Copies of this chain bind each other. A is one copy, B any other.
Amino acid sequence: MIIIKTVEQLQEIRKNINGTVGFVPTMGALHNGHISLIKKAREENEIVVVSIFVNPTQFLPGEDLDAYPRRTEADKKICEMCKVDYLFMPEISTMYREEEVLIKAPNKSFILEGKSRPGHFDGVLQVVLKLFGIVQPTNAYFGKKDAQQLSLIQQMVKNLFLPINIIACDIVRESDGLALSSRNVYLDETQRKDALLISKSLYSAASLIAKNVFDVNVIKDRIYEVMEKLDVEYVAIVDREFNEIKTIQRGNSIILVVARFGNTRLLDNIWL
């Protein structure tokens, strides 16, 4: 595995690759969720590139940019074990230099996560577009856990006609159901236990739907009931284009949940 720090070095290497390139952009603190993306990229491509970059432009003032977990040495070992070819770890000053051309996510980015974190998705799209520019991947891998992010990246690729396949990968969970997240490390013991109610509420919704309950209000009530003791930020039921819906459409619905544990926001969702 070759570790790359500069854009120029990676561009030079990329020029000489003719086969398929699988790309997994990350902010590091790699867990089994990331590993599942990397493994999939490894299976489906001749060359695998992983990036680790805690992108400042997607954090709002007061968010956890400085506290965001960094585990560089462990991350390198994981990538090596997963047979990554190139690990790109740029500095902030490598990725951002001056007053820049910016990306503006569409209005639908201002609901849900975008409402809680205005400007967040502009920063996500900006860094993803920069990374796509450098890596020029054939296939790029993103987790379904950040469902709205995934949807906006898919839209950007479509709007800009980029010749890149966006591969959506299933959420990976702890054995007890908690969706993996680099931010889970912020939880204390009680919070960790309570956080289980998030995935429980989604499973409960799924079992209602299995019994042909399709009314979104009924389903939301059940979800709120299960998470009663939590500080729930939102429960939303949307189609794959992130329009809110009133009735579940199998094969085209996503239930999204966010709950707060102190300063930590945990996201989870289920794709129906």
Interface status of A177 (Cβ within 8 A of chain B): no
Interface size on A, residues (CB 8 A): 30
Interface status of A125 (Cβ within 8 A of chain B): yes
**CB of A10, distance to nearest CB on chain B (Å):** 9
Residue-wise, chain A 154-168 has the 8 Å CB interface mask toward B (1 for contact) of: 011001111100000
- Taken together as a complex, chains A and B put the C-alpha atoms of A223 and B134 apart, in Å, by 44
Instruction: Name which of A32-40, A104-112, A246-254 contacts chain B.
Output: A104-112
On whether the beta carbons of A163 and B133 are closer than 8 Å, the reply is yes
Residues of B within 8 A of A98 (CB): 159
Residues of B within 8 A of A105 (CB): 101
Could you show 19 A-B contacts with beta carbons less than 8 Å apart? A7-B161, A11-B161, A14-B163, A98-B159, A99-B107, A99-B108, A100-B155, A101-B104, A101-B105, A101-B125, A101-B156, A101-B160, A102-B104, A130-B159, A130-B160, A130-B161, A133-B161, A133-B163, A136-B163
| Chain A residues with a Cβ under 8 A of chain B | 7, 11, 14-15, 97-108, 125, 129-130, 133-134, 136, 152, 155-156, 159-163
Given contacts A101-B160, A134-B161, 11 further A-B contacts (CB under 8 A): A99-B106, A100-B106, A100-B159, A101-B105, A101-B152, A102-B103, A102-B106, A103-B103, A104-B104, A129-B160, A133-B162
